[in-house]
Amino acid sequence: MFQRDSVGGTFTIAAVLCAVCSVVVSATAVGLRDIKDRNEQLSFQREVLTVAGKYDESIHKPTDIPELFKAVNSLLVDLGTGLPATSDKVKLDTFNLKKVSKDPATSVEIPTDKNLAGINRREEIARVFLIKKDDGSLDQIILPVRGKGLWSTMYGLLSLDSDAKTVRGLTFYEDGETPGLGGEINNPKWKATWSNPECPKVLFNEQGNVDIAFFKGAVSCDADDAAHRFEALAGATITTRGVENMMKYWLGDHGYGPLLDKVKQGEFTNSVTAAR
Ligand SMILES: Cc1cc2nc3c(=O)[nH]c(=O)nc-3n(C[C@H](O)[C@H](O)[C@H](O)COP(=O)(O)O)c2cc1C
């Protein structure tokens, strides 16, 4: 007969309670997975729209995101050739950056001398985003970038003009840097210094080499070479160096270099409609 007040009874009740709770927690997690995935997708789409200057929190609502995102052309690109790609292993709709960039079947090791961003591997096929003008020509290309800061891998989006060298926007959608120090990569004022139309920032020099340098304090638009000078984050030299190095990696020949060459050659100017 079951003795509730015995040692065995106490353990039995505890075990039953644990089993019931774990079933409830698991069922809730599984039941909410679709909603969580959908919210993550919407949040990422909002970041893409924001860096493209197509989403303004003071005007738009989160429910506007799916409609606004129809103006964004998502595209898979082979980073080796810089050309649009199709693949059995990587699909546009289900693209998961963290998975494809870690899986040996869909990623490559970054040679040590090129591993500036400290990420060790990169995806063979990347998902980038194109924004076109009303006449169908290319307006902006949005490139996912990532690299190590002080504490974390910082995940961002860099938007470039159709000239493939002038910054239109920069945002970070995931990082673990210290709020108030490295976490200032998300400060709208700092981000705005990258995309001030009065004082455009240009990432390559005339010879086509990446040309960026970071300095403490605000960079005057009248300064020599102002287009290639960027404001370092105060009290966060290591995070700043992380941003600099991720830019150098992703804009270089092992990152988006081949793609940017194709953009400069006009490859994507009229082929925007080929993307989805
Ligand atoms: C608790 C704590 C958190 C810190 N977080 C960051 C950080 O997120 N990014 C960073 O670059 N430096 C961070 N630092 C500061 C670095 O250790 C280092 O001092 C700093 O990068 C130097 O920047 P500065 O030359 O601009 O002063 C942190 C320091 C402390 C004590």
For 23, 26, 27, 143, the CA distances from 20, given in Å and listed in that order, are 5, 10, 11, 46
For 126-142, what is the mean pLDDT?
Answer: 95
Q: Which of 178, 184, 185, 190 to mutate to test ligand 1, by most ligand atoms within 8 A of the CB atom? A: 178
What tokens appear for 16 in the block?
Answer: 């039953």
Across 99-122, b (16+ Cβ under 10 Å) vs e yields: ebbeeeebbeebeeeebbbebebb
Q: Is 152 among the domain residues?
A: yes
In ligand 1, the atom with minimum distance to the C-alpha of 232 is: 26
Q: Is 168 among the domain residues?
A: yes
Q: What is the pLDDT of residue 204?
A: 96
pLDDT band at 30 (very low <50, low <70, confident <90, very high): confident
Q: Is 27 among the domain residues?
A: no
pLDDT band at 53 (very low <50, low <70, confident <90, very high): very high
For 173-183, what is the mean pLDDT?
Answer: 98
In ligand 1, the atom with minimum distance to the C-alpha of 235 is: 26
Question: Which residue did the predictor score with more confidence, 164 or 18?
Answer: 164
Q: What is the pLDDT of residue 156?
A: 98
pLDDT digits (tens, 9 = 90+) for 185-220: 999 999 999 999 999 999 999 999 999 999 999 999
Residue span of the structural domain in which 128 resides: 71-274
Average per-residue pLDDT in the chain? 93
Q: What is the pLDDT of residue 72?
A: 97
Kindly give the distance from the C-alpha atom of residue 67 to the centroid of ligand 1, in angstroms, as a whole number: 41
Q: What is the pLDDT of residue 273?
A: 44
Asked whether 184 lines ligand 1 (CB < 6 A), one says: no
Query: How many domains, in total, are found in the chain?
Result: 1
Q: Is 188 among the domain residues?
A: yes
Residue nearest to atom 30 of ligand 1 (CA): 178
Q: What kind and span of H or E run contains 161?
A: strand 153-161
Q: Is 111 among the domain residues?
A: yes
Kindly give the distance from the C-alpha atom of residue 243 to the centroid of ligand 1, in angstroms, as a whole number: 14
Asked whether 150 lines ligand 1 (CB < 6 A), one says: yes
Q: Is 250 among the domain residues?
A: yes
Question: Which residue did the predictor score with more confidence, 181 or 8?
Answer: 181
Kindly give the distance from the C-alpha atom of residue 89 to the centroid of ligand 1, in angstroms, as a whole number: 40
Asked whether 182 lines ligand 1 (CB < 6 A), one says: yes
Q: What is the pLDDT of residue 275?
A: 46
In ligand 1, the atom with minimum distance to the C-alpha of 150 is: 9
Asked whether 244 lines ligand 1 (CB < 6 A), one says: no
- Identify the bridge partners of residue 169 per DSSP, sorted by sequence position: 159
Residue nearest to atom 13 of ligand 1 (CA): 236
Asked whether 239 lines ligand 1 (CB < 6 A), one says: yes
pTM across the whole model: 0.89
Q: What is the pLDDT of residue 98?
A: 96
Question: Which residue did the predictor score with more confidence, 25 or 68?
Answer: 68
Q: What is the pLDDT of residue 50?
A: 96
Q: Is 28 among the domain residues?
A: no
DSSP 3-state of 108: strand
For 227-251, what is the mean pLDDT?
Answer: 97
Q: Is 132 among the domain residues?
A: yes
